[in-house]
């Protein structure tokens, strides 16, 4: 097996020791390789396995996690935008890949991105697929750890656990991606990413910095609930529903977590100047006894919107009302 481990590790930011150990185990294994790559979304799991696949199959890869790679001995399974799950037939068809003669290498590689996009029938089909794959087979199963994965599947996999990246590691990745942004803007996006390059890219693509400033300016007068301004905020989100709804919930959750740090540790980091006055004010407006309740409200409202498809306007309005109601009297 020829994997240029050093080259792969040098292209990866974060988790270098874990990945080096993982690649070493790939190099010394001669039977079928079935690996589950665990970790939060957006930390480079897919990028890593694509680098490995391109190295094994000797194909050019442009070092971009979102770039597709193609080869007759490779199958990458993703959930399409118009479907809820990766189809059972796609999983079953992997056996055809593993038992055919390889095209130009000694390997057949499947990347399942991700197991969280399989339903019960998909899990059952995958279990049958990974029971006895032939020598030279590689199955990389991406697990975002945001849904149930049967123990019967886990038990048949070797496990690689990857941690979230540091702000500096996220920043290094962003600097390589040729965004036309100032350094301070890249720094802002890396620091709100919660260790996920995927989240940082999402925030950049939705121009979230001015939106965050807009939210901070709105919340500065939250004790004086203003129907007109509240409607403006809600409408600005609804107009760009698919782009801003996640940003809205992530950003206000981030804001209140900073308030918690201020309240309990008397320390917090400032991303933008608008934050400072707001965090100081919130730490006085809200009590220590209900600040965690507010975080729960934010998460519950978002989860209800995603899982139950609640009306967006009603969800946002009721959330902002709750934030107002929980102010100390």
Cα 58 to Cα 46, 106, 207, 284, 308: the distances in Å are 18, 11, 37, 60, 45
Can you give the pLDDT at residue 322?
Answer: 92
d(CA 51, CA 160): 16
The better pLDDT of the pair 101, 228 is held by 228
DSSP labels, 39-108: --TTSSHHHHHHHHHHHHHT----S-TTS----TTEEEEE--TT-SS--HHHHHTHHHHHHSPPSSSS-E
Q: What is the DSSP pairing of strand 108-113 with strand 74-78? A: parallel
Can you give the pLDDT at residue 247?
Answer: 87
Can you give the pLDDT at residue 88?
Answer: 95
Other C-beta atoms closer than 10 Å to the C-beta of 158 total: 13
Does 182 have pLDDT greater than 80?
yes
Can you give the pLDDT at residue 29?
Answer: 58
Cα 231 to Cα 116, 133, 219, 240, 294: the distances in Å are 36, 57, 13, 14, 21
Does 63 have pLDDT greater than 70?
no
Can you give the pLDDT at residue 67?
Answer: 67
Can you give the pLDDT at residue 240?
Answer: 75
Of 130, 138, 135, 126, the residue nearest 53 (C-alpha): 138
Which tokens go with 218?
A: 């709105």
Whole-structure pTM over 0.75, yes or no? yes
Residues 6 or more apart whose CB falls under 8 angstroms from that of 305 comprise 245, 312, 315
Q: Which CATH class is domain 206-325?
A: mainly alpha
Can you give the pLDDT at residue 65?
Answer: 55
pLDDT tens digits, one per residue of 213-261: 999 989 988 888 888 889 988 998 888 766 788 889 988 998 999 999 9
Please report which confidence band the pLDDT of residue 37 belongs to, taking 50, 70 and 90 as the band edges: very high
Q: Which of 47-51, 132-136, 282-286 has the lowest mean pLDDT?
A: 132-136
Can you give the pLDDT at residue 59?
Answer: 85
Does 42 have pLDDT greater than 90?
yes
Q: By percentage, how much of the chain surpasses pLDDT 90?
A: 54
Can you give the pLDDT at residue 146?
Answer: 76
Residues of the chain with CATH 3.40.50.300: 5-161
Other C-beta atoms closer than 10 Å to the C-beta of 288 total: 10
Residues of the chain with CATH 1.20.272: 206-325
Q: Which of 69-73, 100-104, 152-156 has the lowest mean pLDDT?
A: 100-104
| Contact (CB, 8 A) for 148 and 231 | no
Reported for 219-227, long-range contacts at CB under 8 A and 24+ positions apart, including other chains, are: 219/252, 219/255, 219/278, 219/282, 219/323, 220/274, 220/277, 220/278, 220/281, 222/285, 222/323, 222/324, 222/327, 223/285, 223/324, 223/327, 225/320, 225/321, 225/324
Can you give the pLDDT at residue 156?
Answer: 94
| Contact (CB, 8 A) for 165 and 197 | yes
DSSP labels, 12-29: --S-HHHHHHHHHHHHH-
Does 193 have pLDDT greater than 80?
yes
Does 303 have pLDDT greater than 80?
yes
Does 263 have pLDDT greater than 80?
yes
Can you give the pLDDT at residue 119?
Answer: 95
The better pLDDT of the pair 25, 293 is held by 293
Q: Name the β-bridge partners of 111.
A: 76, 140
CATH for 5-161, among 3.40.50.620, 3.40.50.300, 2.40.50.140, 3.10.180.10? 3.40.50.300
195-215 in b/e burial notation, b at 16+ Cβ within 10 A? bbbbbbbbbbeeebbebbeeb
Which tokens go with 255?
A: 């804001």
- Mean pLDDT in the chain? 89
DSSP character at residue 280: H
pLDDT tens digits, one per residue of 117-161: 999 999 999 999 998 888 888 999 999 987 889 999 999 999 999
């Amino acid at each position: 097996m020829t994997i240029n481990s050093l080259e792969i590790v040098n292209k990866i930011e974060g988790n270098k020791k874990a990945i080096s150990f993982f690649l070493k185990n790939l190099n010394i294994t001669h039977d079928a390789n079935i690996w589950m790559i665990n970790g939060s979304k957006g930390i480079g799991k897919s990028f890593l396995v694509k680098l490995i696949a391109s190295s094994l199959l000797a194909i050019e890869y442009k070092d971009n996690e979102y770039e597709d790679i193609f080869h007759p001995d490779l199958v990458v399974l993703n959930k399409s935008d118009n479907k809820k799950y990766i189809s059972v037939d796609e999983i079953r068809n992997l056996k055809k890949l593993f038992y055919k003669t390889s095209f130009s290498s000694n390997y057949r590689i499947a990347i399942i991105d991700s197991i969280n996009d399989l339903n019960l029938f998909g899990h059952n089909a995958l279990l049958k697929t990974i029971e006895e794959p032939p020598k030279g087979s590689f199955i990389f199963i991406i697990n975002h750890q945001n849904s149930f994965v049967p123990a019967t599947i886990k038990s048949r996999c070797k496990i690689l656990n990857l941690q979230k990246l540091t702000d500096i590691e996220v920043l290094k990745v962003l600097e390589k991606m040729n965004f036309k942004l100032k350094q301070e803007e890249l720094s802002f996006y890396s620091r709100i990413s919660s260790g996920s390059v995927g989240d940082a890219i999402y925030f950049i693509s939705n121009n979230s910095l001015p939106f965050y400033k807009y939210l901070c300016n709105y919340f500065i007068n939250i004790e004086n609930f203003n129907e007109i301004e509240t409607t403006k905020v809600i409408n600005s989100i609804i107009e760009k529903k698919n782009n801003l709804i996640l940003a809205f919930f992530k950003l206000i959750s981030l804001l209140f977590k900073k308030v918690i740090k201020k309240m309990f540790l008397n320390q917090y980091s400032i991303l933008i100047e608008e934050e400072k006055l707001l965090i100081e004010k919130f730490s006085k407006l809200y009590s220590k006894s209900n600040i965690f309740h507010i975080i729960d409200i934010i998460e519950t409202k978002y989860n209800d919107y995603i899982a139950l498809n609640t009306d967006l306007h009603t969800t946002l309005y009721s959330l902002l009302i709750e934030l107002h109601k929980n102010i100390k009297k």
